[in-house]
Structure 1
Amino acid sequence: MAWAPLAFAQPPEGEEEEDAETTEEGTGVDAETPDDVLGHEEVPPPEGFEGDEPEEMEEEDMTNVAPPPPPPPPPPPPPPPPPPSPGAGGGDAEDADTGIPINFDLHGYYRARLVTMDAQPVPGSSPSRDNAGHAAYGFMRLRLNPSILFGSDRESPVAALRMQIDALDNVVFGDNVRAASTPLFAADPSRTSLLDGELQDYFFLRRLWLEFLIPIGQVRIGRQPSQGGLGLLFNDGNDFRNDFGDALDGTTFDRILFATRPLTIFNALTRGDSRPTPLIFALAYDWLAEDTLGLGGDPGVRSPFPFAQLPGGEDDVYQTTLVLAWRDEDFNSEVNARDELTAGLVMVYRGQDSTDSNIYIGDAFYRIRWSAFGRRAPGIYSEGELYTIQGSTYGLGLVNPTTGRVGARKGANVWGGAARLGLDDPMWGAYLESGFSSGQDQLLGTLAQVNQPDDCPPEETCLSLRQRPNNPAYQVGLLLYPTVLAVRTAATYGADFDSVWSGGGVWNSIYFMPRVSFRPLPGVELIGQFILAFADQLNLPLNDERTDADGAGCGLDEACILGWEADVALKVSWGPNDEMRWSNEFGIMNAGPALGPRLSSSLIWTLQSRIAFVF
């Protein structure tokens, strides 16, 4: 902050002289002042004096009158300003401060959601049928994203230490663990999680990583989020990207990552042009598991000796990731600055030596906004993602406690994807979305198989995992996927196979979803969508009424309909940067032949309201 000397009041030019004259006239004595005013008596002149001499005497007496007081001294001059701080401006270049400032940023949000739901599914006494009941509850989260920035450019600092802290993360309102012996007099709420009913920490440091610039790119190291495309496979769960519902969790890796722009480096070396270019290259290594006891051991036992659990890396699970992305921020900018073009490919290798695991993941995505018909006309909007998981392992299913392996070599052949296509305008938008996630008939049989099948040659992959839900943070609708199928899969597969629950993501199905939005006023948006979903496989959690079907494979057949769902939302935001956000959402669904017989009620509806403060 610049320092300014204190300002002292100075009389305007000429005022001092006027004050001095006024002092002389007001306090001094002039020739016209009567003698009685001075307190003197008139005395006759002595004998022998001439007539003029008394006047001379009077003048002499007047000269003996005390002179007027001098004018007040002028105010002291202001003190000199302090020496300028180094780098504050001015001076020689060698005296300038070369230090770079350290700043602190804090962003985040608080959200609270109130839910009422009729015929809320809950696990029943039998895995083949769920019970239902009316539910009304609320839950909340405070998310803090503090950053310590080193550098004068806050958008691209030289280094940044970033954190993500969650407080009362998805904690249900009220006392949910009988903290009070008499519920009628309960006063202190518990910190029970909406997801699993367990007690949450009041504060949870979810992510912490350091990122810093080097001459040829950026390096990140630490526990950090991962996001790709729509977020079907890797989804950081940040912000409010879902039209309906909230992302309750996200993808996090302990990772070291290097990212750069190869074309920028090439241009800088050949032409001296260091402007950013669209092509981005990134390489990452992730520590997924440091198994301290070996597979099959009791995870509750830990050695009391220093570093005793660290040697032996054959049972570690690791992952390497290669990313190529094209992000053209100037795409069609001469027509519309909102236009964008992004495309990318993520290639992942995941391995574990002790189980001979070699898993390969491919994830391709794109996003485009294009004012093809001019700036004032609606623009074309499309976005999509397609991923697959392939490979083989001896570590899938019920492992041998002694060896940490299964006797059967199993593979992976998982697919998932989604795509959108439509028109977008500042006042309205419309698109059609379709997505899918591959399913599997005998999932539990594949997982429970511990030995190589008799008809399968040794070292061959005869059993494959083909079912895996899309990431639950990419939420489709309010009821069918986030609620009904989440309960249905958990009740069927049980706690021993919780890794194959849907968790609220798109599971074993294909869906079609037309969506429209209307923005009549700034900060006001109306959204409506309709979902029709079909099962990919009529497996154990679902109902199969077909008598002539060859296997559980399904398609766009009436018997394969999971159900339909209709959702509407009114969203209102206000504040200079839409800091306050209020979303009111209503959804209703009716289960189809593939799902209805497994539920106590086929018709389910919900009304939800969320208020959020984003800073």
Structure 2
Amino acid sequence: MPSQPAAPRGQQVPSAVATAPAAPSPARATRQGGSGEVGASPSEVYAEDWWSHARPTFEIHGLFRVRAELFHKFALGRRAPPGSALLWEQPPDNSYVDLNGIPHPVRLCGDDPVNPVPCENNTNSGANMRFRLNPELHISDNIRVLSQIDLLDNMVLGSTPEGYANRPAGAGYQVVARGGYAPAGGFANTQWAPVSGVNSTTDSVMVKRIWGEYLTPIGLLRFGRMPQHWGLGMLWNSGDGFDSDWQTTVDRVMLVTGIKKYDIYFSAAWDYMNEGAISSSLYEQQGQPYDLSSADDVNQYVLTAVRRKNPELQKLELARGNVVVNGGVHFTYRSQQLANDVSSTPDPTAGASLGQSATGLRQGFSRRGLEMYIPDLWFQLLYKKFRFEVEAAAILGSMENTAVSGSDYENLLVQDKNGWGIRQFGVTTQAELRAFEDKLRVQFNFGYASGDGDVGSLSPGRGQGIQPQLTSDRTYSTFRFHPDYRVDLILWRNILSRVQGAYYFRPSVEYDFARDKNGQRLGGGAAAIWSRAAEFVQAPGHARDLGIELNATLYYQARDGALNDDPNRMGGFYTMMQYGVMFPLGGLGYLPGQELNYQRTTGSADLDTATAQTVRWYLGILF
């Protein structure tokens, strides 16, 4: 959300301009020809000399974290065939019988290597790490360049052992034969650096964002690849939290201005959301690539108006017992005329793949005719130790065609109902009461994401394009929260990856058992989440109740000097232990026909869902 422009943190102002300069003497009002010299005293610094005497400063913020996680029975006991799971895949080393009565054994376990028995495993576990750097280069008091760079970004520990490598083969990759010093995985003695396409899906270093800011007389100009955040983060979320995994990042040119006296700010932005194929070649590393076609661009324009009171004045108003109201509107318009979304089928020579020829690009076009209008409202009310916030958004629009080749514009079942509609709605609220010097925090959160009664699943699937409609309704209405808007540990965070087509109720409590003014604290919290499907037909069991989840957390933050002067900011060493248990209800169960078929093909009536559990340990250093 646009905030009040402020002087860059830590900026050092040269003493020559720290005070207002006196008028220069007429006798010395001219510079020495070409010498680059300035006046003899600080009061005689000329405006054009600022750039040669400014002292840029460089700051680095960020975090380093290691997270160990255990996922137990996240498949919820559901027996979907391999590769077709709507929720969570069975572990590949787990033997089971699917819904069709087909067994999938892995007969390699037990104590007898001659007569092994089927393996049974319902647990996924491991650890991952990330080193995030947020460098800031402050050129002057009104110009700076900011960036975000991730090293070993969410790299799974132990995933790049010595000897493991891949090479291109056919349409994919094949594992390279291991060398003599590490002939098998069990002989690896070290880890190799991740290299994309060789031993990892990503490189060791990932440059996520770089953008510039220039504070002009009329407002703040931002340009480059930058974070996007609005309101509570339900729809647009920068994902900059200490435990975040997902982000909203946009290529943008943006101007933020406003009326500081009234704490009212406005912004306008032009986003490059999807330019399609560019002229860059796989065999050239220099030159200036350009967008090959304009008709396939996804154009996006954003306008915001927000009222947000200065934080210091806000604290003063709350201390006096006054009510503080903040809020605003974020409006987005998006359009696309043509699309080039062809995959490897039906024609592998068409589409916008890397290194594609102009002929292939031309053959991959289809008419999309997309228009979206996305209003997003945010409101915040503060009174003493009470906070209430709400964010409500809608995605409204239409598409002429959902196919990647050809056209499905005409509706052959319902006359005069051609094309496709988009009608999605979402709302989330947070209510919080603090007490006992803010050590106790009691919350009640609610969220709703509209469902789609004409789509047969809550999960959109991967690599399947736009979800097909079941009938002739032709309106897509499943709203999806941003995946970094976290409400639990199991169902929405991991199994489905985000809140979608459902609503939830979440009461919680958090208490700092020990809390020092220097930032050190020890505490814990608990939450209960009741989740229900907005449209029962999207739930696997065709029932609204999806599950009840209980979460618990213990946390400790060490003292860290200046970073923890503000008790609401985290800094230094931080660790937490989390436990979650989820009890699936009817919505995640089976249909009567599935139960009868399973009993008939296997002779067993054992087709129940299972309770899922998770344990997480977070270790981090924030700076």
Q: What TM-score comes out, normalization by structure 2 length? A: 0.66
Q: For 1:364-386, what per-residue CA distance to the aligned partner results, in whole angstroms no more than 9, with x for missing partners?
A: 11233321xxxxxxx11112211
Q: How far 1:448 sits from its partner (Å)?
A: 6.2
Q: Does 1:170 align with 2:154?
A: yes
Q: How far 1:608 sits from its partner (Å)?
A: 0.8
Distance 1:519 1:323 in 2: 37
**Residue number among 122, 133, 145 corresponding to 1:144 in the alignment:** 133
**Residue number among 375, 386, 395 corresponding to 1:389 in the alignment:** 395
SS of the residue aligned with 1:439?
Answer: coil
Q: How far 1:309 sits from its partner (Å)?
A: 6.0
Relative distance call for 1:92 and 1:225 in structure 2 (3 A) is closer
Q: How far 1:452 sits from its partner (Å)?
A: 12
Distance 2:395 2:67 in 1: 35
Matches within 5 A, 1:288-327: 288-292=273-277, 310-327=291-308
The aligned counterpart of 1:214 is 216
The aligned counterpart of 1:23 is none
Matches within 5 A, 1:361-380: 361-371=374-384, 379-380=385-386
**Contact 2:278-2:291 within 8 A present in 1 as well:** no
**Residue number among 91, 102, 115 corresponding to 2:69 in the alignment:** 115
Of 464-473 and 183-192, more deviation after overlay is shown by 183-192
Relative distance call for 1:334 and 1:225 in structure 2 (3 A) is closer
Q: How far 1:131 sits from its partner (Å)?
A: 2.9
Q: How far 1:451 sits from its partner (Å)?
A: 14
The aligned counterpart of 1:6 is none
**Residue number among 127, 131, 137 corresponding to 2:90 in the alignment:** 131
Matches within 5 A, 1:490-501: none
The aligned counterpart of 2:512 is 519
The amino acid of 1:481's aligned partner reads: W
Distance 2:409 2:293 in 1: 16
Distance 1:303 1:465 in 2: 42
**Contact 2:455-2:470 within 8 A present in 1 as well:** no
Q: Does 1:603 align with 2:611?
A: yes
**Contact 1:175-1:188 within 8 A present in 2 as well:** no
The amino acid of 2:131's aligned partner reads: L
Q: Does 1:227 align with 2:253?
A: no
Relative distance call for 1:310 and 1:604 in structure 2 (3 A) is closer
Q: What TM-score comes out, normalization by structure 1 length? A: 0.67
SS of the residue aligned with 2:159?
Answer: coil
Q: How far 1:314 sits from its partner (Å)?
A: 1.6
Matches within 5 A, 1:454-533: 463-484=474-495, 486=496, 504-522=497-515, 523-533=521-531
Q: For 1:183-241, what per-residue CA distance to the aligned partner results, in whole angstroms no more than 9, with x for missing partners?
A: 11123446779xxx96211001110111111101010000111001111100010023x
Distance 1:542 1:302 in 2: 48
The aligned counterpart of 2:622 is 614
Relative distance call for 1:128 and 1:230 in structure 2 (3 A) is closer
Q: Does 1:336 align with 2:319?
A: yes
Q: For 1:289-341, what per-residue CA distance to the aligned partner results, in whole angstroms no more than 9, with x for missing partners?
A: 112289xxxx9999999878635312111100000111012236145299864
Relative distance call for 1:527 and 1:314 in structure 2 (3 A) is same
Relative distance call for 1:277 and 1:198 in structure 2 (3 A) is farther
Distance 1:349 1:128 in 2: 32
> Mind listing any 5+ residue stretches in structure 2 that lack a counterpart?
1-11, 13-36, 92-121, 166-177, 339-367, 412-417, 458-464, 516-520, 565-570, 592-606
SS of the residue aligned with 1:101?
Answer: coil
Relative distance call for 1:519 and 1:140 in structure 2 (3 A) is same
SS of the residue aligned with 2:44?
Answer: helix
| Aligned CA-pair RMSD | 3.6
Relative distance call for 1:334 and 1:124 in structure 2 (3 A) is same
Relative distance call for 1:105 and 1:593 in structure 2 (3 A) is same
Relative distance call for 1:145 and 1:301 in structure 2 (3 A) is closer
**Residue number among 446, 453, 460 corresponding to 1:434 in the alignment:** 446
SS of the residue aligned with 2:291?
Answer: coil
The aligned counterpart of 1:539 is 537
The aligned counterpart of 1:285 is 270
Q: For 1:430-461, what per-residue CA distance to the aligned partner results, in whole angstroms no more than 9, with x for missing partners?
A: 121110111113327994669996xxxxxxxx
The aligned counterpart of 2:60 is 106
The amino acid of 1:225's aligned partner reads: P
Q: How far 1:139 sits from its partner (Å)?
A: 0.6
Distance 2:468 2:589 in 1: 30
**Contact 1:406-1:451 within 8 A present in 2 as well:** no
**Residue number among 170, 183, 186 corresponding to 2:185 in the alignment:** 183
Larger Rg: 1
Distance 2:611 2:232 in 1: 30
Q: How far 1:87 sits from its partner (Å)?
A: 9.8
The aligned counterpart of 1:237 is 239
SS of the residue aligned with 1:385?
Answer: strand
SS of the residue aligned with 1:131?
Answer: coil
Relative distance call for 1:100 and 1:510 in structure 2 (3 A) is same
SS of the residue aligned with 1:482?
Answer: helix
Distance 1:337 1:223 in 2: 41
Q: How far 1:108 sits from its partner (Å)?
A: 0.4
The amino acid of 2:491's aligned partner reads: L
Distance 2:288 2:396 in 1: 35
SS of the residue aligned with 1:213?
Answer: strand
Relative distance call for 1:213 and 1:596 in structure 2 (3 A) is same
Of 523-532 and 598-607, more deviation after overlay is shown by 598-607
Distance 2:454 2:192 in 1: 40
**Contact 1:173-1:189 within 8 A present in 2 as well:** no
Of 589-598 and 419-428, more deviation after overlay is shown by 589-598
Distance 1:303 1:596 in 2: 54
Distance 1:200 1:535 in 2: 35
SS of the residue aligned with 1:350?
Answer: strand
The amino acid of 2:440's aligned partner reads: W
The aligned counterpart of 2:432 is 422
SS of the residue aligned with 2:492?
Answer: helix
**Residue number among 245, 254, 258 corresponding to 1:257 in the alignment:** 254
Q: Does 1:94 align with 2:44?
A: yes
